[in-house]
Amino acid sequence: MFKKLKNKNKSETNQNNDLDIHNIPEHVAIIMDGNGRWAKKRRMPRIKGHYEGMQTIKKITREASNIGIKYLTLYAFSTENWSRPESEVNYIMNLPVNFIKTFLPELIEKNVKVETIGFYEGLPQSTIEAIDHAKAKTQHNTGLTLVFAINYGGRAEILQGVKAICKELQSNNQSSDIIDEELFNRYLMTHKYPDPELLIRTSGEQRISNFLIWQASYSEFIFNEKLWPDFDENELKECLKIYQSRQRRFGGLSEE
C-alpha cells in the first residue's frame, strides 16, 4: 500500500524566501557544533566561540519564531560534555545566565516559551535559577517553544524511562505486554513535543552524538558545513528548503 504524502504546491511560497509555508517542520532540532573550531581559526580561546555561539542562538530563535516553527530544540550541553576542562564547562554553564539576562525581554515580546530537557538537577545553582526565571516568565507564551537540551543524553534518557516504566509495572502488578511506543514516549523527557521532523548538525560533522536518539528515528538529517557561530538566518532557510525538497516515506513507498 502507498503511504499518502502531502502534495507540495511549489507556488505556495511566502513572499521573499521561497519557503513553502504549508510545509514548515513543526519541530526542528539542532546540534550546534563548531564553536571551538570557529575560535581556533581566529586564534581565540574556545570560550569566545561559545560566546558567539550564544549570539547565534538569539538569531536562530528569532528566525524560527518568525518562520512559524513550533518547537526548536538546541543541544546546548551533553551528559558527555562534563569531561571538558573545568574552565570551559564553567563558562558554558554561565552562558544561559548571560543569554537570559540579555534576551529575556525579546523572548517575552516574541511570545517564546522556554523549556529544557536533560538532567536539570546536575546543573550549577546559578544556571538553574536563571533558567527557572525564564521558564516562569514565559510559561504562558503560546508561540515558539525553545527547548534547551542541557545536561542531556539520549541513552541516559532512555534508561531513566525504562527504569520508571519497570517500577510502575511492578507496583501495579502489570505485564510488560502493555509497553508500546506510545507508552514509552510518555516516559521520555520530550513527552510533550512531537518528534523532530528535521535535525540539523552544523560544522560538517555527521554524527548524532547521543541526541534525541529515539525521537530522531524518522527525522530528516541535514549536515550543514557552517561552524555554529557562522550559522545564520539564511542557512536556516536553506536547511528548510532542503527539507522541503525531500520525500518523507516513513518506511513506506512514495506515490509515483
Residues that bind ligand FPP (CB under 6 A): 32-37, 50, 53-54, 57, 76, 81, 92, 95-96, 99, 148, 150
Q: Which is nearer to ligand FPP, 97 or 242 (CB)?
A: 97
From the candidates 7, 9, 23, 33, give the one annotated as an active-site residue: 33
Q: Annotated binding site for substrate: which residue ranges? A: 34-38, 46, 50, 78-80, 82, 84, 201, 207-209
Least Å distance, CB 185 to ligand FPP, is 25
Q: Tell me, yes or no, if 33 is annotated catalytic.
A: yes
Question: What are phi and psi for residue 214, nearest 5 degrees?
Answer: -80, -45
C-alpha span between 121 and 102 (Å, rounded) = 24
Least Å distance, CB 47 to ligand FPP, is 10
C-alpha span between 217 and 90 (Å, rounded) = 33
Least Å distance, CB 237 to ligand FPP, is 20
Three-class SS of 47-109: HHHHHHHHHHHHHHHHHHHHHCCCEEEEEEEECCHHHCCHHHHHHHHHHHHHHHHHHHHHHHH
From the candidates 18, 20, 81, 210, give the one annotated as an active-site residue: 81
Q: Tell me, yes or no, if 9 is annotated catalytic.
A: no
C-alpha span between 117 and 157 (Å, rounded) = 9
Q: Which is nearer to ligand FPP, 128 or 169 (CB)?
A: 128
By Cβ distance, which residue is nearest to ligand FPP?
A: 36
Q: Annotated binding site for Mg(2+): which residue ranges? A: 33, 220
C-alpha span between 117 and 231 (Å, rounded) = 23
